[in-house]
Structure 1
Protein backbone atom coordinates (compact mmCIF):
# COMPACT_ATOMS: atom_id res chain seq x y z
CA UNK A 1 0.00 0.00 0.00
CA UNK A 2 1.45 3.35 -1.05
CA UNK A 3 2.01 6.06 1.55
CA UNK A 4 -0.70 8.27 -0.04
CA UNK A 5 -3.23 5.42 0.01
CA UNK A 6 -2.40 4.73 3.65
CA UNK A 7 -2.91 8.40 4.47
CA UNK A 8 -6.38 8.26 2.90
CA UNK A 9 -7.24 5.14 4.90
CA UNK A 10 -5.98 6.74 8.11
CA UNK A 11 -8.09 9.85 7.55
CA UNK A 12 -11.20 7.75 6.97
CA UNK A 13 -10.63 5.43 9.94
CA UNK A 14 -9.97 8.35 12.30
CA UNK A 15 -13.11 10.13 11.10
CA UNK A 16 -15.19 7.00 11.68
CA UNK A 17 -13.81 6.58 15.20
CA UNK A 18 -14.61 10.21 16.07
CA UNK A 19 -18.12 9.86 14.62
CA UNK A 20 -18.73 6.72 16.69
CA UNK A 21 -17.60 8.51 19.85
CA UNK A 22 -19.88 11.45 19.14
CA UNK A 23 -22.85 9.11 18.62
CA UNK A 24 -22.19 7.29 21.89
CA UNK A 25 -19.70 4.46 21.70
CA UNK A 26 -21.06 2.40 24.58
CA UNK A 27 -19.11 0.59 27.30
CA UNK A 28 -15.76 -1.04 26.60
CA UNK A 29 -15.11 -4.66 27.59
CA UNK A 30 -11.87 -6.58 27.37
CA UNK A 31 -11.80 -8.61 24.15
CA UNK A 32 -10.32 -11.71 25.76
CA UNK A 33 -11.83 -14.21 28.16
CA UNK A 34 -9.46 -13.67 31.06
CA UNK A 35 -9.79 -15.75 34.19
CA UNK A 36 -10.69 -12.91 36.53
CA UNK A 37 -7.27 -12.58 38.12
CA UNK A 38 -6.81 -10.32 41.11
CA UNK A 39 -5.72 -7.50 38.83
CA UNK A 40 -8.93 -7.82 36.83
CA UNK A 41 -12.14 -6.24 38.01
CA UNK A 42 -13.68 -8.22 40.90
CA UNK A 43 -17.09 -9.64 39.94
CA UNK A 44 -20.07 -10.92 41.92
CA UNK A 45 -20.96 -14.57 41.28
CA UNK A 46 -24.73 -14.03 41.53
CA UNK A 47 -25.21 -10.85 39.50
CA UNK A 48 -22.24 -11.10 37.17
CA UNK A 49 -21.64 -7.40 37.80
CA UNK A 50 -18.33 -5.86 38.75
CA UNK A 51 -17.82 -4.40 42.22
CA UNK A 52 -17.39 -0.63 42.33
CA UNK A 53 -15.42 2.04 44.15
CA UNK A 54 -13.77 1.17 47.43
CA UNK A 55 -15.08 -2.40 47.19
CA UNK A 56 -12.88 -2.95 44.12
CA UNK A 57 -9.84 -1.78 46.05
CA UNK A 58 -10.70 -3.93 49.07
CA UNK A 59 -11.14 -7.07 46.97
CA UNK A 60 -7.98 -6.39 44.97
CA UNK A 61 -6.07 -6.10 48.24
CA UNK A 62 -7.55 -9.31 49.63
CA UNK A 63 -6.83 -11.20 46.41
CA UNK A 64 -3.23 -10.08 46.31
CA UNK A 65 -2.64 -10.71 50.02
CA UNK A 66 -4.04 -14.24 49.82
CA UNK A 67 -2.79 -15.19 46.39
CA UNK A 68 -6.24 -15.60 44.83
CA UNK A 69 -5.90 -15.98 41.08
CA UNK A 70 -9.57 -15.36 40.26
CA UNK A 71 -11.71 -12.25 40.74
CA UNK A 72 -15.03 -14.02 41.41
CA UNK A 73 -16.65 -13.25 44.78
CA UNK A 74 -19.94 -13.91 46.58
CA UNK A 75 -21.62 -14.06 49.95
CA UNK A 76 -22.01 -17.37 51.80
CA UNK A 77 -25.61 -17.60 50.60
CA UNK A 78 -24.75 -16.71 47.01
CA UNK A 79 -22.18 -19.50 46.87
CA UNK A 80 -24.74 -21.92 48.31
CA UNK A 81 -27.27 -20.87 45.68
CA UNK A 82 -24.68 -21.54 42.97
CA UNK A 83 -24.19 -25.10 44.25
CA UNK A 84 -20.91 -24.42 46.05
CA UNK A 85 -19.89 -24.47 49.70
CA UNK A 86 -17.54 -22.11 51.52
CA UNK A 87 -14.89 -24.19 53.27
CA UNK A 88 -14.93 -24.26 57.06
CA UNK A 89 -12.52 -21.80 58.63
CA UNK A 90 -12.26 -19.49 55.60
CA UNK A 91 -12.08 -15.79 56.47
CA UNK A 92 -14.37 -13.38 54.65
CA UNK A 93 -13.66 -9.96 53.14
CA UNK A 94 -16.03 -7.08 53.85
CA UNK A 95 -17.69 -5.03 51.12
CA UNK A 96 -20.19 -2.23 51.52
CA UNK A 97 -23.43 -1.72 49.60
CA UNK A 98 -24.76 1.83 49.57
CA UNK A 99 -28.50 2.37 49.10
CA UNK A 100 -30.52 5.55 48.85
CA UNK A 101 -33.47 5.69 51.25
CA UNK A 102 -36.19 8.23 51.81
CA UNK A 103 -36.13 10.04 55.15
CA UNK A 104 -39.32 10.80 57.09
CA UNK A 105 -37.83 14.09 58.21
CA UNK A 106 -39.15 17.36 56.67
CA UNK A 107 -37.80 18.06 53.23
CA UNK A 108 -36.31 21.42 54.13
CA UNK A 109 -36.81 22.84 50.68
CA UNK A 110 -36.19 19.58 48.84
CA UNK A 111 -38.91 18.95 46.25
CA UNK A 112 -38.59 15.16 46.20
CA UNK A 113 -41.86 13.28 45.59
CA UNK A 114 -42.05 11.68 49.03
CA UNK A 115 -41.93 15.04 50.82
CA UNK A 116 -38.66 14.17 52.49
CA UNK A 117 -35.02 14.16 51.56
CA UNK A 118 -33.00 11.12 50.66
CA UNK A 119 -30.12 9.70 52.62
CA UNK A 120 -27.48 7.10 51.88
CA UNK A 121 -27.56 3.92 53.93
CA UNK A 122 -24.56 1.58 54.07
CA UNK A 123 -24.82 -2.15 54.66
CA UNK A 124 -21.80 -4.39 55.06
CA UNK A 125 -21.58 -7.83 53.47
CA UNK A 126 -19.09 -10.62 54.01
CA UNK A 127 -17.88 -12.15 50.77
CA UNK A 128 -15.65 -15.07 49.87
CA UNK A 129 -13.45 -15.65 46.85
CA UNK A 130 -14.05 -18.63 44.57
CA UNK A 131 -10.71 -20.01 45.82
CA UNK A 132 -12.37 -20.38 49.25
CA UNK A 133 -15.20 -22.62 48.10
CA UNK A 134 -15.69 -26.20 46.95
CA UNK A 135 -18.06 -27.48 44.30
CA UNK A 136 -18.21 -24.48 41.98
CA UNK A 137 -17.83 -25.20 38.28
CA UNK A 138 -16.63 -22.33 36.13
CA UNK A 139 -18.70 -21.90 32.95
CA UNK A 140 -16.95 -23.24 29.85
CA UNK A 141 -14.80 -20.75 27.99
CA UNK A 142 -14.80 -20.62 24.21
CA UNK A 143 -11.40 -21.46 22.73
CA UNK A 144 -10.24 -19.69 19.58
CA UNK A 145 -8.52 -22.32 17.37
CA UNK A 146 -4.97 -21.77 16.14
CA UNK A 147 -6.26 -22.21 12.60
CA UNK A 148 -7.77 -18.72 12.91
CA UNK A 149 -4.33 -17.10 13.18
CA UNK A 150 -3.32 -14.79 10.35
CA UNK A 151 0.23 -15.41 9.15
CA UNK A 152 0.69 -12.00 7.54
CA UNK A 153 -0.38 -10.22 10.74
CA UNK A 154 1.93 -12.37 12.87
CA UNK A 155 4.78 -11.57 10.51
CA UNK A 156 4.04 -7.84 10.52
CA UNK A 157 4.08 -7.58 14.33
CA UNK A 158 7.11 -9.86 14.77
CA UNK A 159 9.02 -7.64 12.33
CA UNK A 160 8.65 -4.76 14.81
CA UNK A 161 11.32 -6.42 16.94
CA UNK A 162 9.36 -5.97 20.18
CA UNK A 163 9.61 -8.87 22.63
CA UNK A 164 6.24 -10.44 23.46
CA UNK A 165 5.39 -12.93 26.21
CA UNK A 166 2.12 -14.88 25.99
CA UNK A 167 0.11 -16.80 28.55
CA UNK A 168 -1.00 -14.29 31.17
CA UNK A 169 -4.48 -12.98 31.89
CA UNK A 170 -3.83 -9.31 31.09
CA UNK A 171 -2.42 -7.32 28.17
CA UNK A 172 0.17 -4.62 28.91
CA UNK A 173 3.55 -3.17 27.95
CA UNK A 174 6.29 -3.12 30.60
CA UNK A 175 8.76 -0.32 29.78
CA UNK A 176 11.42 -1.50 32.23
CA UNK A 177 11.97 -4.70 30.23
CA UNK A 178 10.68 -3.35 26.91
CA UNK A 179 8.29 -6.32 26.75
CA UNK A 180 4.67 -6.76 25.70
CA UNK A 181 2.63 -9.24 27.77
CA UNK A 182 -0.42 -10.83 26.18
CA UNK A 183 -3.08 -13.46 26.91
CA UNK A 184 -2.87 -16.53 24.65
CA UNK A 185 -4.47 -16.38 21.22
CA UNK A 186 -6.99 -19.04 22.31
CA UNK A 187 -8.52 -16.78 24.98
CA UNK A 188 -9.62 -14.03 22.58
CA UNK A 189 -13.10 -13.74 21.08
CA UNK A 190 -11.78 -13.58 17.53
CA UNK A 191 -8.56 -13.08 15.58
CA UNK A 192 -9.18 -9.39 14.96
CA UNK A 193 -9.42 -8.79 18.71
CA UNK A 194 -6.13 -10.61 19.32
CA UNK A 195 -4.20 -8.67 16.68
CA UNK A 196 -5.85 -5.41 17.69
CA UNK A 197 -4.69 -5.81 21.28
CA UNK A 198 -1.21 -6.97 20.25
CA UNK A 199 -0.86 -3.91 17.99
CA UNK A 200 -2.17 -1.68 20.80
CA UNK A 201 0.46 -2.92 23.26
CA UNK A 202 3.18 -2.83 20.61
CA UNK A 203 2.04 0.74 20.00
CA UNK A 204 2.98 1.60 23.57
CA UNK A 205 6.39 0.06 22.94
CA UNK A 206 6.79 2.24 19.84
CA UNK A 207 6.80 5.25 22.15
CA UNK A 208 9.87 4.14 24.12
CA UNK A 209 12.88 6.46 24.16
CA UNK A 210 14.88 4.41 21.64
CA UNK A 211 11.98 4.42 19.19
CA UNK A 212 9.57 7.39 18.84
CA UNK A 213 10.23 8.84 22.32
CA UNK A 214 6.65 9.68 23.37
CA UNK A 215 5.86 10.56 26.97
CA UNK A 216 5.05 7.24 28.65
CA UNK A 217 5.43 8.56 32.20
CA UNK A 218 1.77 9.42 32.83
CA UNK A 219 0.15 7.76 35.82
CA UNK A 220 -3.09 5.82 35.42
CA UNK A 221 -6.00 8.26 35.12
CA UNK A 222 -3.84 11.26 34.23
CA UNK A 223 -4.21 13.32 31.05
CA UNK A 224 -0.85 12.05 29.77
CA UNK A 225 -1.92 8.42 30.31
CA UNK A 226 -5.27 9.05 28.61
CA UNK A 227 -3.59 10.70 25.62
CA UNK A 228 -1.26 7.70 25.18
CA UNK A 229 -4.16 5.22 25.42
CA UNK A 230 -6.13 7.15 22.80
CA UNK A 231 -3.07 7.26 20.54
CA UNK A 232 -2.36 3.53 20.56
CA UNK A 233 -6.01 2.51 20.25
CA UNK A 234 -6.39 4.68 17.15
CA UNK A 235 -3.13 3.13 15.95
CA UNK A 236 -4.67 -0.31 16.38
CA UNK A 237 -7.60 0.64 14.16
CA UNK A 238 -5.29 2.07 11.51
CA UNK A 239 -2.99 -0.95 11.29
CA UNK A 240 -5.86 -3.46 11.34
CA UNK A 241 -7.19 -1.63 8.28
CA UNK A 242 -3.73 -1.72 6.68
CA UNK A 243 -3.54 -5.46 7.20
CA UNK A 244 -7.02 -6.03 5.78
CA UNK A 245 -8.26 -7.50 9.07
CA UNK A 246 -10.87 -4.83 9.82
CA UNK A 247 -11.57 -2.37 7.04
CA UNK A 248 -13.58 -0.15 9.39
CA UNK A 249 -12.96 0.61 13.08
CA UNK A 250 -14.43 -2.00 15.38
CA UNK A 251 -16.92 -0.82 17.98
CA UNK A 252 -14.49 -1.67 20.78
CA UNK A 253 -11.95 0.84 19.44
CA UNK A 254 -14.36 3.76 19.76
CA UNK A 255 -15.68 2.55 23.12
CA UNK A 256 -12.16 2.25 24.55
CA UNK A 257 -11.14 5.69 23.30
CA UNK A 258 -14.36 7.20 24.60
CA UNK A 259 -13.56 5.81 28.06
CA UNK A 260 -10.40 7.95 28.09
CA UNK A 261 -11.46 11.01 26.13
CA UNK A 262 -13.39 12.36 29.12
CA UNK A 263 -10.06 12.89 30.88
CA UNK A 264 -9.03 15.09 27.95
CA UNK A 265 -12.28 17.08 27.76
CA UNK A 266 -10.49 20.38 28.47
CA UNK A 267 -8.50 19.95 25.25
CA UNK A 268 -10.87 19.99 22.26
CA UNK A 269 -8.05 18.97 19.92
CA UNK A 270 -6.88 16.03 22.03
CA UNK A 271 -8.38 13.39 19.75
CA UNK A 272 -6.72 14.94 16.70
CA UNK A 273 -3.35 15.11 18.47
CA UNK A 274 -3.74 11.45 19.42
CA UNK A 275 -4.61 10.58 15.82
CA UNK A 276 -1.52 12.40 14.56
CA UNK A 277 0.73 10.48 16.93
CA UNK A 278 -1.05 7.26 15.96
CA UNK A 279 -0.27 7.87 12.30
CA UNK A 280 3.37 8.51 13.19
CA UNK A 281 3.48 5.20 15.07
CA UNK A 282 1.81 3.37 12.17
CA UNK A 283 4.39 4.80 9.77
CA UNK A 284 7.14 3.61 12.13
CA UNK A 285 5.64 0.11 12.14
CA UNK A 286 5.57 0.02 8.34
CA UNK A 287 9.18 1.25 8.25
CA UNK A 288 10.23 -1.85 10.22
CA UNK A 289 8.91 -4.19 7.51
CA UNK A 290 11.14 -5.73 4.83
CA UNK A 291 10.86 -4.02 1.48
CA UNK A 292 9.11 -7.03 -0.02
CA UNK A 293 6.28 -6.65 2.51
CA UNK A 294 5.67 -3.05 1.49
CA UNK A 295 5.52 -4.05 -2.16
CA UNK A 296 3.00 -6.78 -1.47
CA UNK A 297 0.77 -4.69 0.79
Structure 2
Protein backbone atom coordinates (compact mmCIF):
# COMPACT_ATOMS: atom_id res chain seq x y z
CA UNK A 1 0.00 0.00 0.00
CA UNK A 2 1.39 3.39 -1.02
CA UNK A 3 2.29 5.66 1.89
CA UNK A 4 0.22 8.84 2.14
CA UNK A 5 2.26 11.87 1.01
CA UNK A 6 0.67 15.20 1.94
CA UNK A 7 2.91 17.16 -0.44
CA UNK A 8 1.87 14.97 -3.33
CA UNK A 9 -1.78 15.24 -2.32
CA UNK A 10 -1.64 19.03 -2.10
CA UNK A 11 0.10 19.25 -5.47
CA UNK A 12 -2.54 17.02 -7.04
CA UNK A 13 -5.26 19.36 -5.78
CA UNK A 14 -3.68 22.29 -7.63
CA UNK A 15 -3.05 20.12 -10.69
CA UNK A 16 -6.77 19.30 -10.77
CA UNK A 17 -7.66 23.00 -10.72
CA UNK A 18 -5.18 23.80 -13.50
CA UNK A 19 -6.43 20.91 -15.62
CA UNK A 20 -9.93 22.33 -15.20
CA UNK A 21 -8.67 25.61 -16.68
CA UNK A 22 -8.58 27.44 -13.33
CA UNK A 23 -5.36 29.17 -12.25
CA UNK A 24 -5.79 29.43 -8.45
CA UNK A 25 -3.28 32.24 -7.91
CA UNK A 26 -5.02 34.40 -10.49
CA UNK A 27 -8.50 34.30 -9.01
CA UNK A 28 -10.08 37.78 -8.71
CA UNK A 29 -11.21 38.97 -5.31
CA UNK A 30 -12.20 42.45 -4.26
CA UNK A 31 -11.60 43.10 -0.58
CA UNK A 32 -10.31 41.76 2.69
CA UNK A 33 -13.91 40.91 3.61
CA UNK A 34 -14.03 38.40 0.77
CA UNK A 35 -11.00 36.38 1.86
CA UNK A 36 -11.66 32.69 2.60
CA UNK A 37 -11.91 32.36 6.36
CA UNK A 38 -13.17 30.19 9.18
CA UNK A 39 -16.67 31.23 10.23
CA UNK A 40 -16.03 30.66 13.94
CA UNK A 41 -12.52 32.07 14.40
CA UNK A 42 -12.92 34.69 11.60
CA UNK A 43 -9.26 34.04 10.76
CA UNK A 44 -8.50 34.18 7.00
CA UNK A 45 -6.81 31.14 5.51
CA UNK A 46 -3.24 31.73 4.41
CA UNK A 47 -0.68 30.44 1.95
CA UNK A 48 -1.81 27.42 -0.07
CA UNK A 49 -5.16 27.29 1.75
CA UNK A 50 -6.04 30.83 0.64
CA UNK A 51 -5.48 30.21 -3.07
CA UNK A 52 -6.98 26.74 -3.12
CA UNK A 53 -10.24 27.72 -1.39
CA UNK A 54 -10.48 30.97 -3.37
CA UNK A 55 -10.28 29.06 -6.65
CA UNK A 56 -13.77 27.58 -6.21
CA UNK A 57 -15.37 31.02 -6.53
CA UNK A 58 -17.78 30.80 -3.60
CA UNK A 59 -19.89 33.91 -3.16
CA UNK A 60 -19.60 33.70 0.64
CA UNK A 61 -16.06 33.08 1.93
CA UNK A 62 -16.85 31.06 5.08
CA UNK A 63 -15.84 27.52 6.01
CA UNK A 64 -16.29 25.22 9.03
CA UNK A 65 -14.73 22.00 10.30
CA UNK A 66 -17.01 19.03 10.93
CA UNK A 67 -16.68 19.46 14.71
CA UNK A 68 -17.53 23.16 14.46
CA UNK A 69 -20.64 22.29 12.47
CA UNK A 70 -21.74 19.84 15.16
CA UNK A 71 -21.03 22.36 17.92
CA UNK A 72 -23.29 24.87 16.16
CA UNK A 73 -26.13 22.36 16.09
CA UNK A 74 -25.98 22.03 12.31
CA UNK A 75 -25.15 19.17 9.94
CA UNK A 76 -23.45 18.55 6.61
CA UNK A 77 -25.73 18.12 3.61
CA UNK A 78 -25.69 14.66 2.07
CA UNK A 79 -22.95 14.03 -0.54
CA UNK A 80 -21.24 17.35 0.23
CA UNK A 81 -17.55 17.73 -0.58
CA UNK A 82 -14.96 18.74 2.01
CA UNK A 83 -11.78 20.69 1.26
CA UNK A 84 -8.26 20.07 2.51
CA UNK A 85 -6.59 22.72 4.67
CA UNK A 86 -2.92 22.31 5.56
CA UNK A 87 -0.95 23.61 8.54
CA UNK A 88 2.47 23.26 10.12
CA UNK A 89 2.77 21.43 13.44
CA UNK A 90 5.95 21.52 15.51
CA UNK A 91 7.39 18.21 16.71
CA UNK A 92 10.21 17.78 19.20
CA UNK A 93 13.03 15.48 18.09
CA UNK A 94 16.41 14.59 19.54
CA UNK A 95 19.44 15.17 17.35
CA UNK A 96 23.04 14.68 18.47
CA UNK A 97 21.88 14.54 22.07
CA UNK A 98 19.99 17.82 21.84
CA UNK A 99 16.26 18.41 21.49
CA UNK A 100 14.97 20.62 18.71
CA UNK A 101 11.62 21.38 17.14
CA UNK A 102 10.96 20.66 13.47
CA UNK A 103 7.87 21.63 11.48
CA UNK A 104 5.74 18.86 9.95
CA UNK A 105 3.01 19.45 7.40
CA UNK A 106 -0.42 18.26 8.54
CA UNK A 107 -3.99 18.73 7.34
CA UNK A 108 -7.66 18.78 8.26
CA UNK A 109 -10.83 19.19 6.23
CA UNK A 110 -13.44 21.95 6.08
CA UNK A 111 -16.89 22.39 4.52
CA UNK A 112 -18.24 25.49 2.83
CA UNK A 113 -21.27 27.00 4.60
CA UNK A 114 -23.44 26.39 1.52
CA UNK A 115 -23.04 22.67 2.26
CA UNK A 116 -24.25 23.05 5.83
CA UNK A 117 -27.90 22.82 6.87
CA UNK A 118 -29.49 23.91 10.12
CA UNK A 119 -27.00 26.75 10.55
CA UNK A 120 -28.39 29.92 12.07
CA UNK A 121 -28.06 32.52 9.31
CA UNK A 122 -27.59 35.23 11.92
CA UNK A 123 -24.15 33.77 12.58
CA UNK A 124 -23.06 34.46 9.00
CA UNK A 125 -21.78 38.03 8.57
CA UNK A 126 -22.85 40.05 5.56
CA UNK A 127 -20.01 40.99 3.25
CA UNK A 128 -19.91 44.80 3.23
CA UNK A 129 -19.69 46.57 -0.10
CA UNK A 130 -17.23 49.37 -0.83
CA UNK A 131 -18.35 52.90 -0.10
CA UNK A 132 -18.98 55.13 -3.11
CA UNK A 133 -15.84 57.17 -2.43
CA UNK A 134 -13.60 54.10 -2.43
CA UNK A 135 -10.67 54.78 -4.78
CA UNK A 136 -8.79 51.53 -5.50
CA UNK A 137 -6.13 53.18 -7.68
CA UNK A 138 -5.28 55.66 -4.92
CA UNK A 139 -4.99 52.74 -2.51
CA UNK A 140 -2.71 50.92 -4.96
CA UNK A 141 -0.44 53.98 -5.09
CA UNK A 142 -0.37 54.40 -1.31
CA UNK A 143 0.64 50.78 -0.77
CA UNK A 144 3.97 51.48 -2.47
CA UNK A 145 4.26 55.15 -1.44
CA UNK A 146 4.01 54.34 2.27
CA UNK A 147 6.14 51.19 2.19
CA UNK A 148 8.93 52.58 4.34
CA UNK A 149 11.87 50.50 3.07
CA UNK A 150 10.77 50.05 -0.50
CA UNK A 151 13.37 50.02 -3.28
CA UNK A 152 13.80 53.09 -5.45
CA UNK A 153 11.40 53.03 -8.41
CA UNK A 154 12.77 54.37 -11.68
CA UNK A 155 10.11 55.27 -14.23
CA UNK A 156 10.34 55.72 -18.00
CA UNK A 157 12.54 52.65 -18.51
CA UNK A 158 12.20 50.36 -21.50
CA UNK A 159 11.09 47.34 -19.45
CA UNK A 160 9.81 46.30 -16.04
CA UNK A 161 12.34 44.52 -13.85
CA UNK A 162 13.89 44.37 -10.39
CA UNK A 163 17.66 44.78 -10.09
CA UNK A 164 18.92 43.17 -6.84
CA UNK A 165 22.46 44.62 -7.09
CA UNK A 166 21.00 48.15 -7.02
CA UNK A 167 17.84 47.33 -5.10
CA UNK A 168 15.85 49.26 -7.69
CA UNK A 169 12.70 48.62 -9.68
CA UNK A 170 12.60 49.76 -13.30
CA UNK A 171 9.16 50.53 -14.76
CA UNK A 172 8.02 51.90 -18.13
CA UNK A 173 6.04 55.12 -18.21
CA UNK A 174 2.67 54.46 -16.49
CA UNK A 175 0.91 56.01 -19.49
CA UNK A 176 2.31 53.26 -21.72
CA UNK A 177 0.22 50.60 -19.94
CA UNK A 178 -3.24 49.72 -21.22
CA UNK A 179 -4.72 50.59 -17.81
CA UNK A 180 -3.82 51.65 -14.29
CA UNK A 181 -4.60 48.10 -13.18
CA UNK A 182 -2.03 46.72 -15.62
CA UNK A 183 0.58 49.17 -14.31
CA UNK A 184 0.06 48.28 -10.65
CA UNK A 185 -0.14 44.55 -11.38
CA UNK A 186 3.30 44.77 -12.96
CA UNK A 187 4.71 47.04 -10.24
CA UNK A 188 3.50 44.69 -7.50
CA UNK A 189 5.10 41.75 -9.28
CA UNK A 190 8.49 43.50 -9.16
CA UNK A 191 7.86 44.67 -5.58
CA UNK A 192 7.41 41.07 -4.44
CA UNK A 193 10.75 40.22 -6.05
CA UNK A 194 12.26 43.14 -4.12
CA UNK A 195 11.04 41.79 -0.78
CA UNK A 196 13.44 38.89 -1.31
CA UNK A 197 16.47 41.22 -1.11
CA UNK A 198 19.00 40.41 1.63
CA UNK A 199 18.08 43.56 3.60
CA UNK A 200 14.42 42.50 3.75
CA UNK A 201 13.43 38.81 3.88
CA UNK A 202 16.68 37.59 2.29
CA UNK A 203 14.69 35.08 0.24
CA UNK A 204 17.09 35.17 -2.71
CA UNK A 205 20.07 33.99 -0.65
CA UNK A 206 18.31 31.69 1.80
CA UNK A 207 16.71 29.69 -1.00
CA UNK A 208 19.42 29.09 -3.57
CA UNK A 209 17.20 26.84 -5.72
CA UNK A 210 14.70 29.53 -6.77
CA UNK A 211 16.07 29.57 -10.36
CA UNK A 212 15.55 33.21 -11.34
CA UNK A 213 16.23 32.46 -15.00
CA UNK A 214 13.35 29.98 -15.22
CA UNK A 215 9.95 31.46 -16.14
CA UNK A 216 8.28 28.70 -14.13
CA UNK A 217 10.51 28.95 -11.06
CA UNK A 218 9.49 29.17 -7.42
CA UNK A 219 10.53 32.82 -7.41
CA UNK A 220 8.32 33.59 -10.40
CA UNK A 221 5.30 31.95 -8.79
CA UNK A 222 6.01 33.81 -5.54
CA UNK A 223 5.90 37.09 -7.49
CA UNK A 224 2.72 36.11 -9.35
CA UNK A 225 0.90 35.06 -6.19
CA UNK A 226 2.06 38.09 -4.23
CA UNK A 227 1.10 40.55 -6.97
CA UNK A 228 -2.36 39.00 -7.36
CA UNK A 229 -2.89 39.15 -3.59
CA UNK A 230 -1.92 42.84 -3.41
CA UNK A 231 -4.18 43.65 -6.36
CA UNK A 232 -7.04 41.91 -4.62
CA UNK A 233 -6.75 43.68 -1.29
CA UNK A 234 -6.52 47.03 -3.12
CA UNK A 235 -9.75 46.29 -4.97
CA UNK A 236 -8.42 45.79 -8.49
CA UNK A 237 -8.15 42.64 -10.57
CA UNK A 238 -4.77 41.39 -11.67
CA UNK A 239 -4.59 42.79 -15.20
CA UNK A 240 -1.60 40.64 -16.17
CA UNK A 241 -3.54 37.37 -15.92
CA UNK A 242 -2.57 34.73 -18.47
CA UNK A 243 -4.87 31.72 -18.71
CA UNK A 244 -3.53 30.45 -22.03
CA UNK A 245 -3.16 26.73 -22.59
CA UNK A 246 0.63 27.09 -22.93
CA UNK A 247 0.84 28.97 -19.65
CA UNK A 248 -1.20 26.37 -17.78
CA UNK A 249 0.78 23.49 -19.31
CA UNK A 250 4.02 25.14 -18.21
CA UNK A 251 2.92 25.22 -14.60
CA UNK A 252 1.49 21.69 -14.79
CA UNK A 253 4.83 20.36 -15.95
CA UNK A 254 6.65 22.14 -13.13
CA UNK A 255 4.21 20.99 -10.45
CA UNK A 256 4.30 17.37 -11.57
CA UNK A 257 8.10 17.38 -11.36
CA UNK A 258 8.31 18.91 -7.88
CA UNK A 259 5.74 17.92 -5.26
CA UNK A 260 6.91 20.55 -2.74
CA UNK A 261 6.82 23.40 -5.28
CA UNK A 262 3.33 24.80 -4.59
CA UNK A 263 3.61 24.61 -0.79
CA UNK A 264 6.95 26.42 -0.84
CA UNK A 265 5.87 29.12 -3.29
CA UNK A 266 2.58 29.91 -1.57
CA UNK A 267 4.28 30.15 1.83
CA UNK A 268 6.99 32.50 0.52
CA UNK A 269 4.38 34.63 -1.29
CA UNK A 270 2.38 35.01 1.92
CA UNK A 271 5.49 36.14 3.80
CA UNK A 272 6.31 38.67 1.06
CA UNK A 273 2.82 40.17 1.11
CA UNK A 274 2.85 40.28 4.92
CA UNK A 275 6.17 42.12 4.83
CA UNK A 276 4.86 44.91 2.59
CA UNK A 277 1.63 45.28 4.57
CA UNK A 278 3.43 45.32 7.92
CA UNK A 279 6.01 47.89 6.86
CA UNK A 280 3.75 50.81 6.02
CA UNK A 281 4.27 54.37 7.23
CA UNK A 282 1.29 56.20 8.72
CA UNK A 283 -0.80 57.44 5.80
CA UNK A 284 -0.42 61.07 6.83
CA UNK A 285 3.33 60.87 6.23
CA UNK A 286 4.13 60.71 2.54
CA UNK A 287 7.35 59.11 1.28
CA UNK A 288 8.56 60.46 -2.06
CA UNK A 289 9.28 57.90 -4.77
CA UNK A 290 12.33 58.96 -6.81
CA UNK A 291 11.87 58.59 -10.55
CA UNK A 292 15.10 60.10 -11.90
CA UNK A 293 18.45 58.39 -12.21
CA UNK A 294 21.16 59.61 -9.89
CA UNK A 295 24.70 59.84 -11.23
CA UNK A 296 26.52 56.59 -10.52
CA UNK A 297 29.38 54.54 -11.88
CA UNK A 298 28.59 52.51 -14.93
CA UNK A 299 27.68 48.96 -13.99
CA UNK A 300 26.09 46.04 -15.74
CA UNK A 301 23.51 44.92 -13.20
CA UNK A 302 21.65 41.62 -13.25
CA UNK A 303 17.91 42.24 -13.54
CA UNK A 304 15.05 40.00 -12.50
CA UNK A 305 12.84 40.75 -15.48
CA UNK A 306 9.75 38.57 -15.21
- Return the TM-score normalized by structure 2: 0.45
User: Comparing both chains, which one has the higher relative contact order based on Cα–Cα distances under 8 Å and sequence gaps of 6 or more?
Assistant: 2
Higher helix share: 1
- Return the TM-score normalized by structure 1: 0.46
